[in-house]
Structure 1
Amino acid sequence: MTVTTEGPGTDLTTEPGAPHGKNTGAAAIVGIGTATTGVSYTQRELLDLFGITDPRVRSVFLNSAIERRHLTVPPLDADGVCLPEPQGELLAKHKRLALDMGARAVRTCLDSSGLDVSDIDYLCCVTTTGFLTPGLSALLIREMGILPKTSRVDVVGMGCNAGLNALNAVAGWAVANPGKVAVLLCVEACSAAYVIDSSMRTAVVNSLFGDGAAAIALVADTPDTAYGPADMPAAPGSPRLIGFASHLITDAIDAMRYDWDDVQSKFSFYLDPEIPYVVGANAEQVVDRLLSGAGLRRSEISHWLVHSGGKKVIDAVRVNLGLTRHDLRHTTGVLRDQGNVSSGSFLFSYERLFQERVTRAGDYGVLMTMGPGSTIETALVQW
């Protein structure tokens, strides 16, 4: 039996259970790499560092299911108090951290697939934590020595769901250019998007996000090879992307957003406390639409890689989709060890699954992200 699903701008036809046989128009993930900033902090260390004594705010931090996060904290004065960072300084911090983490994540990704920077034909960079012109892709091409002829695109401001939005587009490029290497980089310097005050609004945000970058390399089939050019075959564990599905929750379009804080003269991120329940209530319909296009049921999915959006979000998704804690072990593990690293969180989970070496030929997996819009993005993969 063949399964035909609607993918990024094309029909993708595959043979279930035979992922290394012939297939048409499939892009495969052939490399993965992640990077973080240099210093991580426990939640208690951050509470002490920021001088937070309000019991309500402390409770938000300490009941977040996060143990450590990588952050680049503001400079301290002689008394150990964090100095204010104007918006201009935060943008400079974003540029510095994004270039450093991004370059390291891309190099690790290339090393994992036996590639070199000269092999990159297409580079897509995703970020929400800062604005750069020229974009991060252009700066990385110069800094890393990537060939100037490399095609590129920057996805800015879409939020935590943006990694899968971009993956859809990058997979489409790979399918249109079989045998060529496309790299997707999600890099979030969340340290450059913080407002430090005593409000509960900022407490939720400040308790959650961490710095991180994740990159994956994609190669689509050529007519006579599986997944890539003859001199760069994909490893047996390379999953191919066979479908995408999206859902915009229009009634919750303002539930996650950036506002301008006139008092502090910087951008401030807002998270509606109801968003976990909104996401959970809408998760079933988009996942079932993704799977029905391939003639699959949820019980046939072996691997679930969900955005580490926060404890309540993860619990809401797990309950509404009927998943087990084991199903979401990588999602909760990333939240515990990294916090929410925004657009790249699901790739940190994918890296953990890859390192487990438990996937088998024919296994199906679902990737799922959530973010501003409010949006749920999903992708179906098969090993």
Structure 2
Amino acid sequence: MSESLYFDSTYPAAEAASEPSNLPAANFSPMPRSVQPRIGGLAVARPGRVLSQDDAIALFGLEGDAFAESLFARSGVRSRRLALTPEMLKTTLQQRTEHTEGQLLAMASEAVDQLGIDPSRIGTVISSTLWSLGGPSLAHRLVERYGLRPDTDKYHIVGVGCVSSVPLLRLAVQALAADPLRQVLVVAAECSSGLLTAARADERTKIVGSALFADGCAAVLLSAGPGAGGPAVLATRVHQVPGSLDKVHIKVAGDESSMFMTRELPSIVDAQLGGVTDSFLAQQGLRPAAIRHWLVHPGGPGILEAAQRSLGLTREQLSASWDVLAQHGNMGTATSLYVLDRTQQQHAPRPGDLGLMITVGPGITIGHMLLRW
């Protein structure tokens, strides 16, 4: 983070690429032809209370601070959900652990309940949060809560943050390929209320986090069975930018925490995203013009503006991302799935439409997932 809001089988292609990319090959997973994974269900939670940016400034005790008020106004966020209270701000992260883990389970349950899952059909549960001090994991607790089979595979992933949606679905597809008769439940949850701490006027990095981050959770049901609806996952890829480990990271020490994103992040996105995206699409025999729906992680206005420049897109083409940022803030792990939900609700993709999800997070890692409705 920084004071400049820089948060944060190959299927038939619709259009052939003119030239192959000369970028080095990255880790790419076409889907096996025998398995057609589809996002058969998607649900998002709306937890806690809704705060305006004025409410949030008051919560963090930053009223009257000219820098903070300007930053909050330029954040692209109009409202977001936070369970954080003034009383919680006086406690350490460790003292909040029970509340944080309870909030994660409550948000996850709200999302999963909307899916109407059949417990007997779930073969794998994959959950993820930016960080967690609790155990058993969220995945373990979901198995117990919904009475899933004792032999259900379960995995909980931490530290992936804003890039999570692509790696999580990538892992889910691999699990589905191993057991295509059962479904995979993916839960991406973020309780920023458990991580945000009070910021002094001179702690500009922390003020940026206070302006952007929020609570949220999304659940996805991936299926390959007959009659599975929703968009098909055609291919996924993750690309870690060399030498960028120190550009986006989280620090937790004692009762303090901060989420750091370098001021250079938009420049890195601007320089890297276009070429990496062209390379991924070329592997599918596609050009960018074939993509009908662009789903870019709304890490902050700087990220979205850099993505528009690098990809040659208009703000309207990223309207779902801008809307999620405005109405929900940056929910880290869950955010890109909110963009997918918004796209499906607002833009009503037609059969055959192609969509490209792009995530950017710690690493710096860029994720791509090609979808077809």
Q: TM-score, normalised by structure 2?
A: 0.88
Does structure 2 retain, via aligned residues, the 8 Å contact 1:245–1:287? no
Amino acid at match of 1:119: R
Amino acid at match of 2:53: Q
Distance 1:8 1:167, change over 3 A: farther
- 1:139 & 1:125 partners in 2: Cα distance? 10
Query: Partner residue of 2:299?
Result: 309
- 1:145 & 1:298 partners in 2: Cα distance? 44
Query: Partner residue of 1:47?
Result: 57
Query: Partner residue of 1:207?
Result: 211
Query: Partner residue of 1:93?
Result: 99
Matched, 1:256 2:248: yes
Distance 1:290 1:183, change over 3 A: same
Query: Partner residue of 1:334?
Result: 324
Does structure 1 retain, via aligned residues, the 8 Å contact 2:28–2:236? no
Does structure 2 retain, via aligned residues, the 8 Å contact 1:74–1:84? no
| Aligned pair partner of 1:245 in 215, 223, 237 | 237
Matched, 1:140 2:154: no
Query: Partner residue of 1:234?
Result: 228
Query: Partner residue of 1:12?
Result: 31
- 1:148 & 1:40 partners in 2: Cα distance? 38
Amino acid at match of 2:206: T
Query: Partner residue of 2:16?
Result: none
1:327-366 alignment, distance < 5 Å: 327-356=317-346, 358-366=348-356
Query: Partner residue of 2:133?
Result: 131
1:267-346 alignment, distance < 5 Å: 267-346=257-336
CA deviation string 1:240-270 (max 9, x = no partner): 11111222122221111122346xx333221
Amino acid at match of 1:242: L
Distance 1:9 1:299, change over 3 A: closer
Query: Partner residue of 1:157?
Result: 159
1:234 offset after TM fit, Å? 2.1
- 1:352 & 1:122 partners in 2: Cα distance? 26
- 1:340 & 1:179 partners in 2: Cα distance? 35
- 1:259 & 1:29 partners in 2: Cα distance? 34
1:11 offset after TM fit, Å? 4.6
- 2:112 & 2:196 partners in 1: Cα distance? 26
Query: Partner residue of 2:42?
Result: 32
Moved more, 357-366 or 312-321: 357-366
SS of alignment partner, residue 122 of structure 1: strand
SS of alignment partner, residue 75 of structure 2: coil
CA deviation string 1:117-142 (max 9, x = no partner): 33322110011142322211001212
Where do 5+ consecutive residues of structure 2 fail to align?
A: 1-9, 14-24
SS of alignment partner, residue 317 of structure 1: helix
Does structure 1 retain, via aligned residues, the 8 Å contact 2:166–2:238? no
1:183 offset after TM fit, Å? 1.0
SS of alignment partner, residue 134 of structure 1: coil
CA deviation string 1:254-297 (max 9, x = no partner): 111122346xx333221212212212221112211210011100
Does structure 1 retain, via aligned residues, the 8 Å contact 2:237–2:367? yes
How many residues align? The count is: 350
- 1:85 & 1:272 partners in 2: Cα distance? 28
1:75 offset after TM fit, Å? 4.1
| Aligned pair partner of 1:60 in 46, 68, 71 | 71
CA deviation string 1:356-375 (max 9, x = no partner): 36212221110111111111
Matched, 1:118 2:120: yes
Q: TM-score, normalised by structure 1?
A: 0.86
- 1:174 & 1:240 partners in 2: Cα distance? 13
Does structure 1 retain, via aligned residues, the 8 Å contact 2:89–2:197? no
- 2:287 & 2:161 partners in 1: Cα distance? 29
Does structure 2 retain, via aligned residues, the 8 Å contact 1:127–1:187? yes
> Which of structures 1 and 2 has the larger relative contact order (alpha carbons within 8 angstroms, sep 6+)?
2
- 2:266 & 2:133 partners in 1: Cα distance? 27
SS of alignment partner, residue 308 of structure 2: helix
1:83 offset after TM fit, Å? 4.8
- 1:332 & 1:129 partners in 2: Cα distance? 26
- 2:249 & 2:148 partners in 1: Cα distance? 34
Query: Partner residue of 2:85?
Result: 74
- 1:24 & 1:356 partners in 2: Cα distance? 32
RMSD: 2.1
Does structure 1 retain, via aligned residues, the 8 Å contact 2:46–2:81? yes
